[in-house]
Structure 1
Amino acid sequence: MAGLATTMNSSMTSAPSMSIDRLFPALLECFGIILCGYFAGRINIITSTQAKGLGNFVSTFALPALLFKNMVVLDFTHVNWNFLLSILVAKVAVFIIVCILTLLVASPENRFSKAGLFPIFATQSNDFALGYPIVEALYIDTYPEYLQYIYLVAPVSLMLLNPIGFIFCEIQKWKENTTHQQSKLKTIGLVLFQVFKNPIVFMVIVGICGNFILKQKIPVFMGEFLDGLSSSFSGSALFYLGLTMVGQIKKLKKNSFVAIILLITAKLLVLPLISREMVELLDNGNTEANYTSLSNYAFLYGVFPTAPSVAIFASQYNMEMEIVTPGMVINTFVSAPIMYMSAWLLTIPSMHAKLLLSALQSVSFDISIVTLFFLIWSLAVMLLSKKFKQMPHLFTVNLLLAQCMVSVGMIMWYFITKQTYRLGQVLVFIVLYSSLYSTYIWTVGTFCLVRIPALIVGILLITGHPNTRNDCDSAFFYGNAQVISTAVVLSCSILIAGLSLMCLSRNRQQNTYQILERNSVSSNVVEEPMLKDQSENVVTVNNEQPGTELVVEKEQCRTLCTSENCMLVQEEQLLQNADPQLGRHVLLCLLLIIGLFANVSSCLWWLFNHEPGRLYVELQFFCVIFNFGQGFISFGIFGLDKHLIILPCKKRLEFLWHGRDIAAQNDSAIREEMKMTCQQFVQYHKNQCASDIVKERRCGAQSYTDVFQGCHLVDWLIQVGLAHDRGEAVNYGNRLLKGGVIQHITEDYSFCDESLYYRMMPMRIGTFSGPSVGGSVLNVSMIIIVIINH
């Protein structure tokens, strides 16, 4: 830290360039609304079809009104055109680099689709929903004119770069569609027409024209109307962003993680650095303070995450959705700590080296305390769900234990550095860095988690010399020897993580084969007719006809099933407990690899540049957040177990919401929508549905029952048009379950889009008939609904 202290002391200034105090509330506001939207979609309060309506409002009304309003009042005389040119050059450079590399590396089958969508992913930022609140919080008091650059920079991607990507996508469609060929000129014309037909682009052009016609003043009769629409944009856009994230991680495939890492690196690291360098290169005529502030602002702008519209483009072309949509979700959440650290970059010139070191220690301590709670929660979930007995959850438990020890070690280090007890510092360092190295190489196994880190720390203790300063950073306690050892461990860990992902991919293939094999065997056993000697044994013991005994067994199985005597319940529990959650482990590896890359970059930067400067300090802050905040990632992925946490909480909330007597409600208390749904299904669809998805499955030793799986009913409802998406289908199934049309075999679960078993309940059509006065009207309305659906 000596070189860093020298650099920081020599670059002190008298006034900060932004207000850091408002940054955390702004981030909390933005990501809090995003999480609200995510949970609303996750628990199916708002379905994906309903979310499209909100998205259409945001993109067609709210955002165009916001752009038009700000374009009209924009003062072009105070715009720094060199700054805009720098951002344009940076975006074009990144776009061309990603496009060329994609064309060279991608397979010929989908080369042009990737070359079209990947550059858009790396250059189009979420300027308005996420970027504007962050810039407003940071610069509203110091450089308020920076806010207008958001409205000028955004059209660069929309009008200049995106059409190039769309042309590549159209070329891919042209290659795939050999029956219908169209000229290249017509393709370019269609792309340009789609671009200018976009409400956002159109209103930007109209707003620029209105700026000169109206002389930068909005008429009174338009002002209130535009204010009402534009003020609704921020919250709606962030909420819609959360809704679009639901279910996107499921699209993550084994062969897409490398592309996602490279795209996130290009968006969050390469674009900010090139933007900053372009500003320093092209805009060097300003004063030193404004010059530095603009270059830092360019870096901050580059860190804004990818806009959700990129996922919309991928879905419109039906191309690369397994890469773009999960990448957009991961990119958004990874950008949060990087944006926070980028804001710290702007305050570093005014911060003394001792204050900087104290800030690093305080951030590490605060994060360790909070993340320790989340890690204990995640460990409790792993233990209570008994997943720690399975692979790869066994390794995940070891990782959680190592992360707990890292948090405990950092808390102890925070207090021990205030003392002069040298032996205590060494002992705490052993605990801290043995655990930290274990988190780096957690994928190797239990042996390596404990012994290799202990061996490396032991070598440091023997060969190194601890720092004698009491306020020394733990990352430099043993000087360059510690930095070198950390770099070696990180480099090996990145290779090991890549190998572990390959092993997980191979394990996924084997697991899929085993599940298919088990299901085929299970279906053969379950649907096998009763053997003749078993029927004779039944007749001998009971002195009854075999058919009578079979009917008795079936009637017994139609009431309730228990795990002791029901094979179907045991199969449900087996499927739930045996879920390896490989997709979540792949996502965990992806996020950890990003942190490993940042740590190894920090080590190499320090070794080869003893005066690293402000960017290194930002990187160091990011590494601190990653090292001591890994528990947030683990909690987000494994801390909210669906069957242990989410479903019981949802069931409890429904119980409290509808009252304690919901199970005893009679037909007269059922809502009209539920009655209409149940009557429609029973009268027009139940028989066909039963013949399509209901199967006779063995329930006990000599008993059978007619059941179906919840996921099969969801597929059937979408297929016949009774639901537009899986969320609507789940709501439809819940209405059938609450109306008594279907029933879970144990009545322990509501209707879920999973491999849970349900049965059709015997019911007559008249059960759900409405009041006698409106009965004919209800029947007519049901006939109209059926005609529309078909």
Structure 2
Amino acid sequence: MNDSELYEKNVNKDINLDNLYKALVECFSVILCGFATGKLNLISQREIKGLDVFVRTFSLPCVIFLSLAQLDFSSINWSFLGSILVSKSIVFVCVIIVTCILSRPIHLGKLGLFAVFCTQSNDFALGYPILKALYDQENPNYPSYVYLLAPISLAVLNPIAYVLLEIGKFNGETNSNNESKNINESPVHESVNLSLPEETRNRNNVESDENTQSRNYQSDTKSDFKLFFAVIVNIFTNPVMLMTFLGMLGNLFYTYIEFIGVVLNAFASVFSTTALFVLGLRMVANTHKLKGNALVTSGILIITKLLVLPLVTREIVSLLHTGKNATETLNLSTFGFMYGTFPTAPMVFVLSAQYDIEVDSVPSSLVVCTFLSAPLMYISAKMIFMDFLPNDDYIEKLQSFAFNVGVVGIPFGIWLIILFIANKSFSKLPHKITGFLIISQIIICIGVALLPIREFFKPWSTYIQFSFLAFGIYSSRLWTCFLAITLVLLQSRSLCFVLKLIPALNILAWGIPAIFVIAENFAFTNGHFGSLTNPNFYIGKFQSGVTLFLLIISFIGTIVSLILQHRYQLRFAKYFNLIQEVNSDDVKEERETSIGDNSRDTTSQLCKGSCSKTTDIEEILSENNSNLCSGSCKKESVCPSEFNCTPAEREMCEETIKQYNATTLNENIDEDHEDRQILRHIVLLLLLIMSMFVNLMLSIWTLVVEDAISGVYIELLFLNVILNIGQVFITFAVFGFNSKILFVSITNRWRKFFYGAESIVLTPVTELGFETTHVCHQFIAHHLQNCEKEIAKPKRLKLRLYKACFKGKTLVSWLQTKRLAKDEVEAIQYASHLLEGRVLRHIENRHHFENSDLLYTFKS
């Protein structure tokens, strides 16, 4: 009997998922009610804290005690509990290692907090009702596992996190105390000590060293004991741990103390509703706008918790064969997968606030994770309990779904190409690599969209359709890896080095997939492509093996490159801040004049003093720049000495950069930072890593057990269609809404056609309204000088340094701070009057006033 037959036999055909739907609606309706209550301030923070104390100290412990005291331990599969421990431990350790590699300096408290976030589930308030709705009829013992699974984290993994959190907190205290301890090393103390006789000085130094060592030893001993004691206290005073122990003990004598259950049941009966309501209340204070690195951190944590943990749990349970037979093992593996999809427990927020670690990203991640888990749990449960036969119509539905994804994805990809052409992104790095990635993703969609032609033009149509699809998938994975490598090289080497590397990357990214596709076509001649049913792997194990090979290379290469890029970025940030300080100091020494007459290249600042070996050629070369470095400074900057460039290589590098600048320096990009959009590319790579991870798991599954059809496998098939064939949707989510420059370009061309120039056309001064004139006169007379002094700063735009300019949103904020405007809308109107009245202008006269990062300056 194969796995699919076992699965069909085991699954109850009459199972009703309406119970799950009702449980989800019930749970999240209570959460939303709590959230609305908090938003309307109907309950104060003190009252919320009181409810939280009641839930954690009284209600939850009673639920745990009653459940364990009445549980039949003879029916518990302890091997399954061990496999869950192994799964959580693997994710726990991996999160610590990855965070340790990425974090500089290493923050031990952050390691522990992130590890808890990815392994601690909301088992009691949210998990148990859902499991009860799913398994109450089929496997009534499964929901009770929650009361044994939760203590696994609390008793084994969380103490490790507590140790890391306490050490991090302790290190913060000792660092502050070291300053007072090092008084004996101060110059004043040293000068006093030198005035003493030599013998006295030596004796004092020896005694001082002995005392210092003695104090340090005693301090370290006390600190270790204090840390150990704190962890032990946290474990045994935790109400959940205490009641777990008492519940297992009470299981032996519950028949004699059954009357206690009447009292405890009064507290336990209100747990679920109260806990979910408090969770909603807590979310109000935890909703922060995620930006920058906080957004990346939150995304990684949520993906790890909702996607990586369920897959790892399912694989570990299957590999360890925790069931008595194949049927039970399959049931437990799907149960483990479902258990892994539960959102993170609110306890993480408490730890974040208590230790003051990631107070912005972690609470917000908790909120997003909770709401994203709802559709994921429902879809997972529905797939798990789908009663499909191996040859049933799910293949037809899968093909239809893939076809729809491909057809819809083509216009999305075309839109991205239009944006990149309009924004001239194909001429820049790393956008050029991203453009090649988009092309490969469009080829995937075309390959899937050609599915219907196989029925009419056999066998060559099959070859054509398969070649498009396989070539696009393989090349997209390689371009993902090359994009990550490009980010590293842009940060660690130079633009010139990357530009010279582009031809080689093109040969590899297009050539290797072509070789594999040709080999696969030759291997399956005469149109015999296996079953040709699975759109993920048309030719079965052979294609999954090739895919697995390329995935492993791309997956490892992308992750390693992102880690290196992060390390180099942290190192470069210090250097860049120093350059900014030098530029600011130099600008302050000069007399500020008109922005148009005094904008100049940043390299005139960089070339003052000694040459920096980390300065790249792109930072010192410009066709329109008359202030180039000369002599040895220029040669050092063109090719840093550590790379041992020859004079010919320097000249070639200079010529390459000049050609690159000819297509990029004249672009109308109105941002005060380099327009490489590094953060967007990092987010894109993280999402594509998730896509590769799912594809990797599916490839391994197909190679090992090709015929094992289960609900989780079917769910992975559909998920892989979205994340693999629909990669273009991921890229669109990151870059598809960046259409502002496209419309600006259209507007500029419209202005040039009608007015003969791309500059904005303002109302003539003689036709300005009274309100505009009055606002401008008042601002010039009373606020202009102070405003210019407070917000006008030197800004670097591409290779030019502009004096006394500011962002539009900075002026809006300043107007509200000085109470010249009541709110943002009024501040924008006020600034628009100033622009119409010629008090301020856009640095290139191309935009009206906007509350954005566009740069403006006051007219002199």
Give the TM-score taking structure 1 as reference length: 0.62
Instruction: Identify unmatched segments of 5+ residues in structure 1.
Output: 536-569, 648-663, 668-681, 724-728, 761-790
Paired residues, number: 660
Query: CA separation in 1, counterparts of 2:560 and 2:156?
Result: 40
Task: Give 1:201-600 correspondences, 5 Å limit.
Answer: 213=260, 215=262, 229=274, 232=277, 243-244=287-288, 246-247=290-291, 249-250=293-294, 252=296, 267-274=309-316, 281=322, 284=324, 293-307=331-345, 309-310=347-348, 313-314=351-352, 316-318=354-356, 342-343=380-381, 346-347=384-385, 350-372=388-410, 374-376=412-414, 378-379=416-417, 381-413=419-451, 415-416=452-453, 421-443=458-480, 444=482, 445-465=505-525, 466-467=527-528, 472-498=533-559, 500-501=561-562, 505=566, 528-529=590-591, 573-575=669-671, 578-600=674-696
Residue deviations 1:527-582 (CA, integer Å, cap 9, x gap)? 842689x99xxxxxxxxxxxxxxxxxxxxxxxxxxxxxxxxxx9994326842221
State the SS of the aligned residue for 2:533: coil
Letter in 2 for 1:365: F
Q: Structure 1's 148 and 28: CA in aligned 2 closer, same or farther, altered over 3 A?
A: same
1:117 touches 1:165 (CA, 8 Å); kept in 2? yes
Query: CA separation in 1, counterparts of 2:733 and 2:242?
Result: 40
Q: Structure 1's 142 and 324: CA in aligned 2 closer, same or farther, altered over 3 A?
A: same
Residue deviations 1:559-607 (CA, integer Å, cap 9, x gap)? xxxxxxxxxxx99943268422212212322332333244344434444
Query: CA separation in 2, counterparts of 1:698 and 1:436?
Result: 40
User: Residue 827 of structure 2: which of 732, 737, 741 is its match?
Assistant: 737
1:304 touches 1:339 (CA, 8 Å); kept in 2? yes
Query: CA separation in 2, counterparts of 1:145 and 1:69?
Result: 19
Moved more, 441-450 or 403-412: 441-450
Letter in 1 for 2:164: F
Moved more, 584-593 or 636-645: 636-645
Q: CA deviation at 1:185?
A: 4.3
Letter in 2 for 1:464: F
| Identity across matched positions, percent | 28
Q: Structure 1's 506 and 122: CA in aligned 2 closer, same or farther, altered over 3 A?
A: closer
Query: CA separation in 2, counterparts of 1:477 and 1:452?
Result: 19
1:638 is aligned to 735
Query: CA separation in 2, counterparts of 1:130 and 1:633?
Result: 30
2:346 touches 2:366 (CA, 8 Å); kept in 1? yes
2:453 touches 2:461 (CA, 8 Å); kept in 1? yes
1:595 touches 1:626 (CA, 8 Å); kept in 2? yes
Query: CA separation in 2, counterparts of 1:399 and 1:159?
Result: 46
Letter in 2 for 1:247: K
Instruction: Identify unmatched segments of 5+ residues in structure 2.
Output: 179-218, 251-256, 483-504, 598-665, 745-768, 773-780, 842-846
Q: Structure 1's 128 and 409: CA in aligned 2 closer, same or farther, altered over 3 A?
A: farther
User: Residue 77 of structure 1: which of 48, 67, 70 is its match?
Assistant: 70
State the SS of the aligned residue for 1:157: helix
Task: Give 1:637-786 correspondences, 5 Å limit.
Answer: 637-641=734-738, 693-695=791-793, 708-709=806-807, 734=824, 737=827, 740=830, 745=840, 748=848, 751=851, 754=853, 756-757=855-856
Query: CA separation in 1, counterparts of 2:431 and 2:688?
Result: 16
Q: CA deviation at 1:301?
A: 0.5
Query: CA separation in 1, counterparts of 2:375 and 2:720?
Result: 10
Q: CA deviation at 1:405?
A: 2.9
Q: CA deviation at 1:436?
A: 1.6
1:603 is aligned to 699
Q: Structure 1's 391 and 716: CA in aligned 2 closer, same or farther, altered over 3 A?
A: same
Q: Structure 1's 527 and 89: CA in aligned 2 closer, same or farther, altered over 3 A?
A: same
Q: Structure 1's 418 and 72: CA in aligned 2 closer, same or farther, altered over 3 A?
A: farther
Residue deviations 1:355-409 (CA, integer Å, cap 9, x gap)? 3423432442344455556545555554555444422122223322322332232
Q: CA deviation at 1:126?
A: 4.0
Letter in 2 for 1:232: F
Query: CA separation in 2, counterparts of 1:516 and 1:505?
Result: 19
Query: CA separation in 1, counterparts of 2:142 and 2:811?
Result: 53
Letter in 2 for 1:584: R
Q: CA deviation at 1:170?
A: 0.9
Residue deviations 1:136-169 (CA, integer Å, cap 9, x gap)? 7745775677556556644553466424421232
Task: Give 1:147-186 correspondences, 5 Å limit.
Answer: 150=146, 153-154=149-150, 156-158=152-154, 161-178=157-174, 179=177, 183-186=223-226
Q: Structure 1's 486 and 258: CA in aligned 2 closer, same or farther, altered over 3 A?
A: same
- The answer as to 2:116 corresponding to 1:120 is yes
1:563 is aligned to none
Q: Structure 1's 288 and 517: CA in aligned 2 closer, same or farther, altered over 3 A?
A: closer
Residue deviations 1:462-485 (CA, integer Å, cap 9, x gap)? 333343677532444445443333
Q: CA deviation at 1:22?
A: 8.2
2:558 touches 2:689 (CA, 8 Å); kept in 1? yes
1:379 touches 1:400 (CA, 8 Å); kept in 2? yes
1:98 touches 1:115 (CA, 8 Å); kept in 2? no
Letter in 1 for 2:315: L
Query: CA separation in 2, counterparts of 1:404 and 1:52?
Result: 52
State the SS of the aligned residue for 1:391: coil
Larger gyration radius, structure 1 or structure 2: 2
1:780 is aligned to none
Moved more, 266-275 or 68-77: 68-77
Query: CA separation in 2, counterparts of 1:202 and 1:687?
Result: 66
2:807 touches 2:854 (CA, 8 Å); kept in 1? yes
State the SS of the aligned residue for 1:232: helix
Letter in 2 for 1:15: N
Query: CA separation in 1, counterparts of 2:273 and 2:246?
Result: 19
Letter in 2 for 1:529: R
Moved more, 231-240 or 630-639: 231-240
State the SS of the aligned residue for 2:393: helix
Q: Structure 1's 53 and 472: CA in aligned 2 closer, same or farther, altered over 3 A?
A: farther
Q: Structure 1's 472 and 21: CA in aligned 2 closer, same or farther, altered over 3 A?
A: farther
- The answer as to 2:731 corresponding to 1:623 is no
Q: CA deviation at 1:124?
A: 0.7
Query: CA separation in 2, counterparts of 1:55 and 1:322?
Result: 20
Q: Structure 1's 291 and 505: CA in aligned 2 closer, same or farther, altered over 3 A?
A: closer
Letter in 2 for 1:301: Y
2:310 touches 2:339 (CA, 8 Å); kept in 1? no
Query: CA separation in 2, counterparts of 1:606 and 1:155?
Result: 35
Residue deviations 1:205-251 (CA, integer Å, cap 9, x gap)? 9999999646288669x98x87874563576677877x357237446
State the SS of the aligned residue for 1:12: helix
State the SS of the aligned residue for 1:492: helix
2:334 touches 2:384 (CA, 8 Å); kept in 1? yes
Moved more, 19-28 or 293-302: 19-28
Q: Structure 1's 104 and 194: CA in aligned 2 closer, same or farther, altered over 3 A?
A: closer
Q: Structure 1's 472 and 530: CA in aligned 2 closer, same or farther, altered over 3 A?
A: closer
